[in-house]
Amino acid sequence: RVGAAFPASSGRSMGVDLVVTRFREPLAWVETYVGRLEWSIFIYTTGSEPPSQRLCTARKVYCDSIQNKGFEWHGYLQHILRRYSQLAETTIFLQANPFTVSPDIHCLLNQTEAFLPVQPLSWVQQSKRKMELFSRCDASNLGGCRVWVEPVTAGAHDADASTEHQHGAVLAAPRQA
């Protein structure tokens, strides 16, 4: 663990938890959200290079190293398991480089009051935006920010397909009472 210890259980938070899983990606973009009154930031690192000491010692930023299971989902699951009884009203799960799947992520993170119970923030890989299939994707808006939702058929692939065809997603879900 780097920086402050994870907060002790004190019941459910009414704020926002920003949960980021990273390998060694830079996290300068996260600093934009440090210090927001109702926000806590949890960074789970799967690689050997920890985030900056400055980031991890900032108020309400919690950094931890976890085992590398290959995908960011492991960090999200760790967060849910560790903090289930004290999850925030809204928990936002992001990969460390959210811009590849959500170019409007900064815009979207300023719209948390408009989030649905389960709010997709993006589901299209940047490389696929040039494909013909992308023209059939549903681009909706949330507070003026683009939310791209890829058709389910676009993700269909053989079980043996390489990871280049797998999708990253960015989701936010308020905890249900």
pLDDT of residue 167: 42
pTM of this structure: 0.73
Strand (E) or helix (H) holding 76: helix 73-83
Confidence of residue 137 (pLDDT cuts 50, 70, 90): low
pLDDT of residue 162: 40
Give the residue among 177, 113, 170, 175 at the shortest CA–CA distance from 147: 170
Whose structure tokens read 């939702």?
A: 149
> What backbone phi and psi angles, to 5 degrees, belong to 53?
-60, -40
164 three-class SS:
helix
- Cβ atoms of 23 and 46 within 8 Å: the answer is yes
71 has a pLDDT exceeding 50: yes
| More confident position, 21 or 149 | 21
Give the residue among 57, 17, 22, 65 at the shortest CA–CA distance from 41: 17
pLDDT tens across 72-104, in order? 889 999 999 999 999 999 999 999 999 887 888
Whose structure tokens read 């494909």?
A: 131
